[in-house]
Amino acid sequence: MTTAGGVMCAEERLQATIRLEKTDKVPNCPSLGYYPATCAEITPKQFLFDRERADAAVEKVFRVCGGWDVMMGQRFDAVALPVIFPMKVRMPGVDLPEDSIHQLVEEEIMTVDDYDFIAEHGYGKFMSTYFSKIHPAIPPDQVPEMRARNLKAMKEDIDKWAERGVTTLIGGVSMEPFGRFSYMRSLAKFALDIYRIPDRVKAAVDACLPDAIAMAKNMVDFTGIRRVFIGNARSSATFISPKQYERFVLPYMEKLVEALVAENITPVFHFDSDWTPFLPFFKEYPKGRCVLELDGSTDIFKAKEILGGHMCLMGDVSASLLVLGTPEEVTDYCQKLIEVVGDGGGFIFSCGCEIPVNARPENVKAMVKAGNELGWYNRE
Amino acid sequence: MEDFAEMSRLLADLEENCLISLVENRLKAGDDPMDIIDACRKGMQIVGERFESKQYFVSDLVMSGEIFSRAMALVGPHLKSNGSRPAAKVVVGTALGDIHDIGKNIVVNMLRCNGFEVFDLGVDVPPQRFVDMVRETGATIVGISALLTVAFPTMKETIQAFVDAGLRDKIKIMVGGGPVDESVSKKVGADAYGGDAVEAVRLAQSFTEVRAG
């Protein structure tokens, strides 16, 4: 609801922004990554494994930066990491130093024959055996419970912040399997598959659709936030050609988006790497029903030219600017983002991908402050 | 001669099976293996040009590298020597604290396809390992990769290690990887930044003035 002073509540503002309607200001939604650990001077290991300290660390960033109106949702912790990434994960304090952030291992684990298995039996059934290959130490019967715990933690966070007037962007997850297979097969092997066995790859991609829809629906029904995160980098123009995109990715994505929108679910495309040549494809998706989140590699200003008035954009203060830049440089870039990409609405102000763990604190403050102070429409 | 032009074209067009058959046939016919290598390198040059003009993408680079490697595996046993041209040496690795290697691996492959001798140190490489490998091999080019911003300081430390070892003015250092850009390159003290594997090859060629083909 809008208050007497004409200020929208956070959820109302976010929904209106996604629908490309006029709002009072751009939503400010920094994706925190491991930065809270840095801010609160705890290790990434403590951030992952000690929820109380992690909560306090997030609180500290919020307080120190002067707050914001939208939380990203689905943070990293020791329960979430194994269930959200389809790869081996090296964890701080387990197989990496305690002060390191988690890292994903690029390894050929999914086999060529697995494409056929997925095409025949679906993604869910495949994952029940694949999971043991990437996490042999986790008994398979614990996996549903881990997923449930992760979802419950997401819901608790959503409710906790909502009480304070801060809404949450992400209430669930769906997937784009072509990009995901690249991680599971390893990039080099996968690149060869799309030349050598394209039909088998395509059949497996298409067979993932029912599970991708069910996954999203189950999560948003539980959390109450009908927006799902679809992470991807490997289907970008950094890796594949427009022709490959049109053949392997676009038909699936059109069906997925259509099905999600029919369920009143907003896809949030968290698309890292360079998508610039593929931006015209995004015009095929329904107007005002999706969010495209960019990480600084795609030209977000070009995205505004192509998709402005059609799709809400989100981003994109880059990791390198937050690590190496000065607060003045950060503020200048944020101002440009808000003025150009935010022009006329349809823009969620954020960092690119996430705030890096070694971002300069004064830069993070400058970014959040810019979102809070420069993001107002029709205000001097 | 026509067959060699066809060989370059097949590689450039990523026609794996046709190229492999042609290489096998030409070897059986007794052609000079060096001519076959040159034809394949010309094909790889076209791949690089298509990548630069955005007709080709990383998946195409990977595929071209695979086809080239298969062709070279066939040619290898027929070579009488290691080739006439001594290869320029490049030491490549992912900076300490970072275990990501896909970009680095593509760079390694593309450098090899273009005639460089590459010493791949893998991932999470301590600065001293880079220095030791340069000393050991006499390499004149170093490539440092990073996907994580936490590896920026270790990139800088690696370059400082070359300064401390008195080797900095004897080598050229190029950096690359996801979040790396010109500003990172300057701040860590590298000589150049390469945005992708083809740029890395171009940089290495400019450093050595050795042109493949």
Which residue segments constitute the domains of chain A, with CATH numbers given? 10-77+141-176+206-373 (3.20.20.210)
Residue in B with minimal Cα distance to A99: B97
As a whole number of Å, the CA-based R_g of chain B is 18
Query: With a cut of 50, which residues of chain A have pLDDT below it?
Result: none
Residue in A with minimal Cα distance to B123: A105
pLDDT in tens, chain B (213 residues): 688 999 999 999 999 999 999 999 999 999 999 899 999 999 998 998 999 898 999 899 999 999 999 999 999 888 775 555 667 999 999 999 888 888 899 899 889 988 899 999 999 999 999 999 999 999 999 999 998 888 999 999 999 999 999 999 999 999 999 889 999 999 999 999 998 989 999 999 999 874 343
User: Cβ B99–A237 below 8 Å, yes or no?
Assistant: no
CB-CB neighbors (< 8 A) of B107 in chain A: none
**How high is the pLDDT of residue B77?**
85
**How high is the pLDDT of residue B85?**
61
**How high is the pLDDT of residue B212?**
41
User: Cβ B62–A277 below 8 Å, yes or no?
Assistant: no
Q: What is the C-alpha separation between B135 and B129, in angstroms, rounded? A: 10
**How high is the pLDDT of residue B84?**
54
CB-CB neighbors (< 8 A) of A273 in chain B: 178
CB-CB neighbors (< 8 A) of B59 in chain A: 191, 194-195, 239-241, 244
**How high is the pLDDT of residue B82?**
53
Residue in A with minimal Cα distance to B187: A324
**How high is the pLDDT of residue A329?**
97
Which residues have a Cβ under 8 Å from the Cβ of A258 and sit 6 or more positions away?
A286
**How high is the pLDDT of residue B211?**
37
**How high is the pLDDT of residue A75?**
83
User: Cβ B152–A324 below 8 Å, yes or no?
Assistant: yes
CB-CB neighbors (< 8 A) of A108 in chain B: none
**How high is the pLDDT of residue A312?**
98
Beta bridge partners of B125: B95
Instruction: Dump strand ranges (E) for chain B.
Output: 89-94, 117-120, 141-145, 172-176, 192-193
Chain A: closest CA distance from residue B103 (Å): 10
Indicate the pairing of strand A103-105 with strand A88-90.
Answer: antiparallel
Residue in A with minimal Cα distance to B13: A195
Instruction: Answer whether A101 touches B (CB < 8 Å).
Output: yes
Chain A: closest CA distance from residue B80 (Å): 31
Helices A198-207 and A112-121, interaxial angle, to 10°? 40
**How high is the pLDDT of residue A31?**
96
**pLDDT, tens digit (0-9, with 9 covering 90-100), for A56-93:** 999 999 999 999 999 999 889 998 999 889 999 999 99
